[in-house]
Amino acid sequence: MPRTMSAILTLLTLTACVSGRPEPARGGLREMLAGRSVVFENGAAQSFAADGTTVYELGAAQIGRWKVEDGRYCALWPSARQWQCHRVEPAGPGFDLVFIAKDGHRTAARYSHAP
Long-range contacts of 18-21 (CB under 8 A, 24+ apart): 19/93, 21/96, 21/110, 21/111
For 85, half-sphere exposure in the C-beta direction (CA atoms, 13 angstrom radius) is 8
Per-residue pLDDT at 114: 54
Per-residue pLDDT at 4: 33
Question: What total of structural domains would you count in the chain?
Answer: 1
We report the CATH number of the domain holding residue 81 as 2.40.128
More confident residue, 81 or 18: 81
Domain that holds residue 76: 2-111
List, for residues 15-53, the tens digit of each pLDDT value. 333 334 334 444 599 999 999 999 999 999 999 999 999
- Alpha-carbon distance 51 to 60, whole Å? 22
Per-residue pLDDT at 74: 97
List, for residues 87-114, the tens digit of each pLDDT value. 999 888 888 999 999 999 999 999 997 5
